[in-house]
A and B are shown apart, each in its own frame.
Chain A
Amino acid sequence: MPFGGVVKASAFSYAKPSSLSELFDLMEMYGDRAKLLAGGQSLIAALNMRLASPTVLLDINGITELSGIEVKGDVVRIGALTRHRSLEQSAEIKKHLPLVHKAMPFVAHAAIRTRGTFGGSVAFADAAAELPACCVVLDANIELASRKGRRIVSARNFFKGLYETDLQPDEVLISAEFPKLRVGYRSAFLELARRHGDYAVVGVAVHGKFQDDMFSDISMVFFGVADRPVHAVNAGRALESARLSPSTINTLRSAVSLDLETYGDIYHTAETKLHLAKVLAGRAVSIMALGRET
């Protein structure tokens, strides 16, 4: 009797490498029969529902170099194994990446944040998750490594579709590097969820310059609206050199309509998602400018 009476997942082997090279050995050995276990907040549920049946789980929690928040020069590096809870509580993140700090309370619930990891969320690439959107809006660089070496992919090219990224089968997500907050730059993060901690119905992350009452260099990213975080390029353009006014918000809303081809979900039509995205866009830039909604 390999398991007790209550185990529901298919049988799998388990390995816990303590270094990246050991991990690469195991990944080579098992190929696509292996799954990496980080925080396990999505994977364990998938195993229990038998939506995933890997032959082996490679637990990367022993690879300490994957964990931690590091500020060096103009960038903040977040290791893949960094727990959501650490990001939420980090003074460095609050200071240098206030957008990420604002996003963290929206990431699931406290228990999940304690266990779940930054890299897990980014690599899983749920289209309604907060951290992928943060990576895109802040133009982070994602660091990937394989036996062959390391490479950097811009977050804006990393997310390819629903649960789909540029991460190759032989690669591991190592970290993401974010540019530190620059003078005159601000951000806002808003999310609508039916219940606190749920994946977003619609969310928006905005980052850019607001100086002398004028917007410039604005990046706006929506999540929960399509198959990946959507960088709203027209919205950014619409705000360039604009001041906060009802007409700016109207222009912005029209730009958002151009940027988004929304998907519906079980509770919301695509039309409703677009409407909500437009509402949130207006609210987010008001918050950037005024510190509150108009």
Chain B
Amino acid sequence: MTTDTASSHVKTHGRYIGAGLPRPDAWRLLHGRGRYTDDIKLARTAHVVFVRSPYAHAGISAINVTKAASSAGVIRVVTGKEVAALCQPWVGVLTHLKGLKSAAQYPLAMERARWQGEPVVAVAAESRAQAEDAAQLIDIDWEPLTAVTSPDTALDSRSPVIHPDLGDNLAYQREVDTGGVDEVFAGAHKVVEATFRTSRHTPVTLEPRSILADYNPAERQLTVYQSTQVPYMMQWILAKHFGLKEINVRVIAPDVGGGFGTKIHIYGDEMTAVALSMMLGRPVKFVSDRLESFVTDFHARGHLVKARMAVSVTGDIVGIEMDDLYGIGPYSGYPRGSANEAKQVLNLVGGPYKNRVYRGRTRVVFENKNMYGQYRAVGHPVACAVTEGLVDLAASAIGMDPAEFRYRNYINAEAYPYTLVTGPVFEKLSQHQAHEKLLDLMNYSALRLEQEELRRQGIYRGIGLAAFVEMSNPSSATYGQGGASIASQDGCTMKLTATGGITCAVSINEIGQGATAVVLQIAASAVGVSTENIKIVIGDTDVTPYGGGNWGSRGTGIGGEAVLQAGKALRQNILTFVALLTETEASVLSIRDNSVIETLTGKELMTLEEVARTAYFRSDKVPRDFSPELVVTRHFAQKTYDGICTNGIQGCYLEVDIETGFVRLLKHWVIDDCGTIINPLLVDEQIRGGVVQGIGGALFEECIYSSEGQLMNGSLIDYLVPMACEMPDIEVGHVSTPTATSELGAKGAGEAGTAGAPAAVMNAINDALKPFGVCVTEQPFTPERILRALGKV
């Protein structure tokens, strides 16, 4: 059921909004014509390679670079001090995450290295290979120190303190308590509890982090080509930390091969590449290799959550309590902090359910492990696994079907906008509809029968459900209000070109997710032109309007609305101009198929080419007191709520081989509500990709650290990313509840799959294991862990 509140304009002319068109850049990329940062060759480019700490925690007593400095092709070898002289250190705190603390972080480690992989020395050479050769000649005298590698003991008095000045290893802590928790648990019909563990993940973008910094000392102008999700944030950071004027910093994001949050953080190696370009007055390129990516790209999601749920005899959730603990890196990430997972887990445990008795605590501790922060669906997969895991346990405890249990506990449809006990407001969810639609789609009752029948044959299949909520379209509450210059608004500038084409410059980015397709379709619908006549301009701070870029599922919801408004404004300006020329009223005119027509008769008055020609070359035909404004800019920010919550539910069907502990995924279903859908092909692929990433967490992905803080599986041989062969068919359906906070009505779609999939897989495994009375709650659910639960090993 679609309730389209988008404007009548969009309805009338929206033949591109809602159309499943192939993305316009696919042809180019499939022809090998992508242009990524590493494809950009500038004359006199130096290539930089880093010597990184082999220890998780060690003092640096001496660095000898003599041999390296004279190695063939070497241009410059720099240590932390030299870089620090150019680049101000940073502290990853946000003022509105009260109590979040961190220490000053420098691009290169100086007296002490605090994680394995932290950059220490940089070598710039004529070629990458020469820089690699020289890097091997650098001697560092290390004094290994005890590393903090377990969140469980990081706060013990015997644990070393990573930053003595901070007093302890606690980076952040927050608690909420609605009151009444002890009472409901004491009086509950049933109480279920479990300890849920999610593993540290690394996002593994196809294109690794890459930067090409080109400083021109003659103008004090810095141009940076970077694989980034956030050109304007980078512009701010680079200007601030290198003491440059912001107008003299230009950040260009060419094609970007995946972001997932990896490319919204500040990295010491990238800042060093910029510093080297300033020192050398020539372009400097750094392209992270895969092994470096594993130990430097921000990790995420390694939580330990003890949780319990109280239920009534009739199957109502009456109370939830949870205690979350996780370890970040040795510093809070910059400039977004490493506490957002804490915030999201604390806020969103409880999901789309109406329970209002809640006590929660989250603690974030420093560890001598890789840096840690925002990754697709920040905190949501953790919160969802905890909530949905408890829901299944509770349903089972009272002997109720888990689908029925969920349905009766969802927030009532008339309760929206609904303020959570933790603060955020859900504008409007469609959870009952999504639920009904999912059960239909997966043929839930027939599946249950099949499961029962197969169980009698010794085949153990499980059905798992996971209702999810997902915050999108963030307001300035996320960063701006915390003092970070990270825009929550986005802009679009649209121009009628001299031959009647449209250029559309937007501040959101293409990172492989299809943003250009979305922008193109909205622009075409808004103006009334065909997509072939529109050129999208993206990813260049000298050219596009100011805006936040890509994070937090905001591209379509925020950037798309700016495009819609710019398109409408340009259209209006064109119609006003033509009305003047043809001595009629703009209100009776429309633009259709690249021409201005009389709406009633459909009679063509002028093509857009004629409009442009008149405006630009035949000013003699334009009234003396009128100036046709055929370039317009519009911005949009979502200001009503902290974020717009999307929702949905996933179903998973799988088989557990109880002798081997191996899991075979058979089928996965998702019903998602992202409001207005611009391109259903893209939305479905976003959902599917998100589900696959979630399945990765549930079954495969885990950064395994030794007790000394060594990453034990830091390569694509050992760190198991989900691959196509193991993935089930993923069927996607939709409910559409457009947000009323914008005319477009679009919400985010990029993170929903990731949020719900791990919980759905977990619940399906535990459903399969039910005849054995055992249950697994530690992700990933490896054969080893399943066999242990079954008592086979």
Contact = CB atoms under 8 A, between A and B. Distances in A.
B400 interface: no
Interface in A1-38: 1-11
B127 A1 contact: yes
A194 B700 contact: yes
A8 B132 contact: yes
A1 B720 contact: no
Given A49-B291, A269-B784, A279-B660, A2 B726 contact: no
B793 A269 contact: yes
A183 interface: no
Given A5-B45, A5-B47, A279-B660, A11 B129 contact: yes
Interface in A40-87: 49-50
Interface string B119-156: 00000001111101100100000000000000000000
B783 A268 contact: yes
A50 B127 contact: no
A196 B665 CA distance: 13
B325 interface: no
B784 A195 contact: no
A3 B718 contact: no
Interface in B696-720: 700, 704, 712-713, 717-718, 720
Interface stretch (A150-158, A204-212, A270-278): A270-278
A50 to B, nearest CB: 7
A195 B792 contact: no
Given A196-B725, A267-B782, A268-B783, A6 B73 contact: no
A167 interface: no
B704 A3 contact: no
B784 A4 contact: no
B129 A9 contact: yes
A266 interface: yes
Nearest to A194: B720
Nearest to B126: A1
A192 interface: yes
B620 interface: no
B662 A275 contact: no
Interface string B19-51: 000000000000000000010010001010000
B723 interface: yes
B782 A2 contact: no
B289 interface: yes
A1 B784 CA distance: 50
A275 B792 contact: yes
Contact of B289 (A8, A199, A266): A8
Given A1-B73, A272-B793, A279 B725 contact: no
A201 B783 CA distance: 10
B537 interface: no
B127 A192 contact: no
A8 to B, nearest CB: 6
Contact of A272 (B47, B712, B723, B784): B784
B538 interface: no
Interface in A223-272: 266-269, 271-272
Which of B38, B45, B132 is the most central at the interface, judged by chain A CB atoms within 10 Å of its CB? Answer: B132
Which of B662, B720, B793 is the most central at the interface, judged by chain A CB atoms within 10 Å of its CB? Answer: B793
B784 A267 contact: yes
B463 interface: no
Nearest to A201: B783
A9 B662 CA distance: 38
A8 B783 contact: no
Contacts of A4: 127
Contact of A275 (B38, B41, B718, B787): B787
B38 A6 contact: yes
Contacts of A194: 700, 720, 782-783
Contacts of B73: 1
A1 to B, nearest CB: 5
Contacts of B285: 5
A5 B726 CA distance: 36
A9 B126 CA distance: 15
Contacts of B725: 195-197
B56 interface: no
Given A50-B132, A266-B712, A5 B660 contact: no
A8 B129 contact: yes
Interface in B428-452: none
B575 interface: no
Contact of A6 (B128, B291, B662, B712): B128
Contacts of B130: 1-3
Contacts of A269: 784, 793
B414 interface: no
Contacts of B784: 267-269, 272
B659 interface: yes
B287 interface: yes
B787 A3 contact: no
A7 B660 contact: no
Nearest to A264: B784
Contacts of A192: 660, 662, 783
B413 to A, nearest CB: 42
30 contacts: A3-B127, A3-B128, A3-B129, A3-B130, A5-B45, A5-B47, A5-B128, A5-B285, A6-B128, A7-B127, A7-B128, A8-B289, A10-B129, A10-B133, A11-B133, A194-B782, A195-B700, A195-B720, A195-B722, A195-B723, A196-B725, A197-B723, A201-B783, A268-B784, A269-B784, A272-B783, A272-B784, A275-B793, A276-B660, A279-B659
3 nearest A-B pairs in the assembled complex, by CB-CB distance: A196-B725, A7-B129, A3-B129
Interface of B: 38, 41, 45, 47, 73, 126-130, 132-133, 136, 285, 287, 289, 291, 659-660, 662, 700, 704, 712-713, 717-718, 720, 722-723, 725-726, 782-784, 787, 792-793
